[in-house]
Amino acid sequence: MDRKQVSVFGTARSSEGDADYVEAQQLGRLLAEAGFTVCTGGYSGAMEAVSRGAHEAGGHVVGITVEGWDEGGRAKTRNRWVIEEIRAASLASRVERLVESDALIAVHGGIGTLLEIAMAWNLMQVGQLARKPLILVGASWRAVADDIAVHLLVDERDLTLITLVDSVEAAVAALQLGEKVEL
C-alpha cells in the first residue's frame, strides 16, 4: 500500500521552544509513526516543527516552496528537515499543490494558514477537490469556524467538510479513523 500524504498548515512565526512549535513537532512525529508522508510549505515555524518531528521519527518529509523566495532581501530558505523539495512557481500554485494531499491538518496559524484552509474548504464545497479530511486543531480554529457559521453564508453541509479537534493527538486519531473510510 502506498503511503498516504498529509499536508499540515501552520504559522511561520513560531520558534523552537514555543508551545505552537512543540505541538507541531509532536504532530509531525505522530503522523510519521502512523505511516504518513508529511507535506508542509517547507519553511520556518510550524512547517519546520512538523517537518522536524516527522524526520526525527523516520518519516518522509515533503516541502513545497516558492521559486524566487530564496532570493533578494527577504530570503526564505527551506527548513533543513525537508527530504524532498518541490518548487512551485507562485504562492497560489504552492497552495494548489499542498491541498492535493490525501488529508489536510491545520495547527495554529495566521492569514496564510487561513488562506490554505479556506481554499481547500471552498474547493471541496464546489466539487473541484475530492472530499478529504480537513482537520483544524485548537481553540483558535474552533472560534474561527464558529464565527464563520454565524457571520457568513454557510449551511450545515459546508460545516461537515471540516473536523474540529482540541489536540494533535485527536487530529491523528480522527485521521486514522477517517483513513478506513475516506482516504
pLDDT, tens only, 4-53: 999 999 999 999 999 999 999 999 999 999 999 999 999 999 999 999 99
**Is 11 part of a structural domain of the chain?**
yes
- DSSP H stretches of helix in 59-134: 91-98, 111-125
CATH number, domain at 140?
3.40.50.450
**Is 95 part of a structural domain of the chain?**
yes
Please indicate, yes or no, whether the overall pTM of this predicted structure exceeds 0.95.
no
The reported pLDDT for the residue numbered 71 is 62
Which has more confidence, 144 or 177?
Answer: 144
Report the domain count for the chain.
1
Query: What amino acid occupies position 125?
Result: Q
pLDDT category of residue 1 using cuts at 50, 70 and 90? very low
The reported pLDDT for the residue numbered 180 is 40
**Is 124 part of a structural domain of the chain?**
yes
Give me the domain span that covers residue 34. 5-178
Distance CA 130, CA 103 (A): 10
**Is 164 part of a structural domain of the chain?**
yes
**Is 13 part of a structural domain of the chain?**
yes
**Is 183 part of a structural domain of the chain?**
no
Could you tell me which residues come within 8 angstroms of residue 144 by beta carbon, excluding any fewer than 6 positions away? 114, 136
**Is 92 part of a structural domain of the chain?**
yes
**Is 107 part of a structural domain of the chain?**
yes
